[in-house]
């Protein structure tokens, strides 16, 4: 099944973000379009049957609408929840890679475990073993 919702992000250092997201969270490069001076024009990273798209922050029409968080601990207005089967291992790998844990790995009353963390540029990520599709 192909994803129908694909979150988009812009990073100050998209090249480093791609490597970090793959190493820390297990994303896989699907497509990376480099630009001038180390800029990333467009990238697609997959996780299971999901995908995110990202690119370098820049002053263009879309950049006027979406920018990276203003700091690594800024309040954000949106985040993603990503289903992970081996959540304990995923958590350990994220910590090892330097993810800033903001909500530790916790078992939930409704089932599964989850945690929340920030990447080096401050984006908030939520990972959990609870699968709402399986619960229905």
Number of domains in the chain: 1
| Domain extent for 62 | 8-135
According to the model, what pLDDT value does residue 133 have?
86
- Does residue 3 form part of some domain? no
3-state secondary structure 100-129: EEEEEEEECCCCCEEEEEECCCCCEEEEEC
Asked whether the predicted pLDDT for residue 58 surpasses 80, the reply is: yes
d(C-alpha 62, C-alpha 67), whole Å: 9
pTM above 0.75, yes or no: yes
What are φ and ψ of residue 122, in 5° steps?
105, 0
Strands 50-56 and 8-11: parallel
Kindly indicate the confidence band of residue 135, based on its pLDDT and cuts at 50, 70 and 90. Answer: low
| CB hemisphere CA count around 86 (13 angstroms) | 8
User: What CATH number does the domain containing 46 carry?
Assistant: 3.10.180.10
The 10s digit of each residue's pLDDT in 90-111 is: 999 999 999 999 999 999 998 8
């Amino acid at each position: 099944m192909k994803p129908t919702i694909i979150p988009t992000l812009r990073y100050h250092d998209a090249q480093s973000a791609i490597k970090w997201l793959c190493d820390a969270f297990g994303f896989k490069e699907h497509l990376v379009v480099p630009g001038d001076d180390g800029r990333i024009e467009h990238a697609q990273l997959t996780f299971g049957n999901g995908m995110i798209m990202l690119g370098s922050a820049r002053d263009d029409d879309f950049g006027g609408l979406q920018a990276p968080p203003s700091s690594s601990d800024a309040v954000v207005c949106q985040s993603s929840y990503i289903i992970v089967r081996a959540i304990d291992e995923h958590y350990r790998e994220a910590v090892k890679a330097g993810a800033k844990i903001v909500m530790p790995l916790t078992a939930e009353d409704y089932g599964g475990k989850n945690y929340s963390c920030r990447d080096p540029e401050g984006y908030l990520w939520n990972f959990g073993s609870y699968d709402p599709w399986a619960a229905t």
